[in-house]
Structure 1
Amino acid sequence: MDLERQHILILAPHPDDEVVMCAAAVGRAREAGAALSVFYLTTGVPARKQLWPWDRGSHGDRVARRRDEARRAAGLLGVTIAAESDVPTRGLRNSLMQARVRLARMIEDQGITQLWVPAFEGGHQDHDAANCLAATFADRLLVVEYAAYNFLGGQPQSQTFPDPRGTEDLMVLSDVEQVVKKQLLSLYASEAGNLDYVGLDRECRRPLAQHDYGRPPHAGTLWYARHQWVPFPHPRVDGTKPEQIYRDLAVFLAGHRK
């Protein structure tokens, strides 16, 4: 992949995804002469009403802390923060039209030549929504998707696609790259309990594959739905049924094509 003089925009559904999916790839791209920036598509924090009642008063502080972590991570990565969003985590699918307008303007104004985005793999509903968003620009520039995590076969899978197409590029991280990635992950202290699944030995990417966004990415339980057995609303459990998520993505695509 020729990266010299490329301007790459990373679509990070949450502050930390730019590290989880492609920290080493960012470093290699910078060494090759590419310029990189990141668009944080959500705050990475659940909506105030989804927090425990006793935590709702600190919602603003939680968002501010996550953004501060993102700024420090971006500085270490050497990427520019192109834009942030006030959309809460798990809310991207309901804000895709607005995100698309902002993204189209960035691509035009900043001369973006590539989009990097998490894979469509059922890891998080916002990841799948971001992948769907990026797909609407695939006819105008290169879109690269990065494996993050999935639950294929009922087992945690990290940095591997649930549906290999033969176009994957597996990047084996050097010892130095692994140390740097671990350091970057540690900057997101607010997410320490959610990042222990991230593998440090590899990153995997491919040109955006053709996906059916109206259906789940793979059979069986999806990563974000694996704790939906919890019998009450829990801030760390996404209770949205997968069929609703992919119905909403299909509606977005249908509206975009009109």
Structure 2
Amino acid sequence: MSREPAHPAIGDRFGSSVVGVATRVVRAAGTRWRRRVAARATDATDTLTRHPLMVLAPHPDDETFGCGALIARARANGTPVTVVVATDGARSTTSARLSAAGLARLRAGELHAACAELGVTDVVQLGFPDGALTANHDALTARLRALVEDRRPGHVLLPCREDAHPDHRALHHAGLAAGPARALAYPVWAWFEGPVFPAAAAGERARLWAWAASRSGWLRVTCGPFLDAKRQAIAAYASQTTNLTGEPGWSHLDPRFVAAFLGPHELFRAP
């Protein structure tokens, strides 16, 4: 995960004046919405593990938050899985103790540790600068097209365009432009922020609300016994889930964010 100024925790985003009733309403709405989406989705637990998978992640850890249980289930079934991470993740925080290059190395190590928990050894790091995928659309698309042609996955899983982070949207569009036979989108920021999307620009909200309200097109995969592997993979990303150095300015994910991805299902949708 890479944080942008537009994506702090909900309480930080609105300021202390709304920590209270309004914040609780937003959180409760998100919990109810996630449950409703999962309940009305079509079960694809078996379908999505029959053919090779390619998971496209904007930053190290997006593959685990969005698809970790599916990845672990597929690997347990002997299905090949390729995890492709587009950026180095070096902008997830600032630190006086760790340089950007050092953070990139740390996150690469966490990526491989997390993928090992999920049973994946085919990990491809494209190494684009964190935050620069939009500016590198053509080069990114060419790299992804070559990987799709080489691995020939049955499904390519990519971040949804409803995620407000620009790298997520850029990888969504590049992934589709790479020409996969079948693609499915997984929500990350949109999964946590829906259905209210409090930080969305006014011009975006109507489309996002319509997306969240849609009752068709959702697929779910049951985490089942693979939830523990996903939990262990998330824990491997200590730089993202804890204050690793103890610095006051170290940015890491709110526990409520993490909890939103440890429910009984993972959700996907045709782009």
Normalised by the length of structure 2, the TM-score is: 0.65
CA distance in 1, matches of 2:254, 2:53: 25
Runs of 4+ in structure 1 over 6 Å off: none
- Say which of 162, 175, 178 aligns to 2:227: 178
* Distance (whole Å) between structure 2 residues aligned to residue 9 and residue 154 of structure 1: 28
Question: What is residue 140 of structure 2 aligned with on the other side?
Answer: 99
Change in CA separation of 1:43 and 1:26 when aligned onto 2, cut-off 3 Å? same
Q: Are the counterparts in 1 of residues 72 and 229 from structure 2 also a CA contact under 8 Å? A: no
* Distance of 2:78 and 2:111 partners within structure 1: 23
Query: Alpha carbons of 1:125 and 1:195: their partners in 2 closer, same or farther (altered >3 Å)?
Result: farther
Change (3 A) 1:12 1:67: same
Alignment pair present for 1:28 and 2:73 = yes
Equivalent-residue separation in structure 1 for 2:254 and 2:60 (angstroms): 12
Shift of residue 136 of structure 1? 1.5
Map residues 2-151 of structure 1 onto 2, 5 A cutoff. 2-3=47-48, 6-46=51-91, 51=94, 54=96, 58-138=99-179, 140-150=180-190, 151=193
Q: Which residue of 2 aligns with 1:230?
A: none
Residue deviations 1:62-106 (CA, integer Å, cap 9, x gap) = 111000000111111112344213322211111121111111111
**1:177: Cα distance to partner?**
3.1
Give the Å deviation of 1:15: 0.5
Q: Distance in 2 between matches of 1:38 and 1:123?
A: 22
- C-alpha distance 38-46 of structure 1, shift in aligned 2 (>3 A): same
What is the distance in 1 between the residues matched to 2:116 and 2:57? 15
1:195–1:89 distance in 2 versus 1, CA, 3 Å: farther
Amino acid corresponding to residue 205 of structure 1 in structure 2:
F
For 1:86, the aligned partner's letter is G
Q: Is the CA contact 2:217–2:270 (under 8 Å) kept in the aligned structure 1?
A: yes
3-state SS of 2:214 partner: coil
Task: Check 1:163–1:79 CA distance in 2 against 1; reply closer, same or farther (3 A cut).
Answer: farther
- What stretches of structure 2 of length at least 5 have no aligned partner? 1-43, 200-210, 242-251
Equivalent pair of 1:106/1:112 in contact (CA under 8 Å): no
Q: 1:142, CA displacement in angstroms?
A: 0.4
User: Over residues 15-51 of structure 1, what are the superposed CA-to-partner deviations in whole Å (9 max), with x where a residue is unaligned?
Assistant: 101110011111222344421011110011229xx94
8 A contact 1:5–1:35 mirrored in 2: no
- 1:141 is paired with a residue of what secondary structure? coil
So what's the TM-score if we normalise by structure 1?
Answer: 0.68
Aligned-partner residue type, residue 170 of structure 1? R
Task: Give the secondary-structure state (helix, strand or coil) at the position aligned to 1:194.
Answer: coil
**Residue 207 (structure 1) aligned with residue 270 (structure 2):** yes
Shift of the 3–177 alpha-carbon distance from structure 1 to 2, 3 Å rule, reads: closer
Give me the whole-angstrom Cα distance separating, in 2, the residues matched to 1:177 and 1:95: 35
More helix per residue: 2
| Matched residue type, 1:194 | L
Distance 1:188 1:28, change over 3 A: same
Say which SS state the counterpart of residue 84 (structure 1) adopts.
strand
- In structure 1, stretches of 5+ residues that fail to align are 209-258
How many equivalent pairs are there? 198
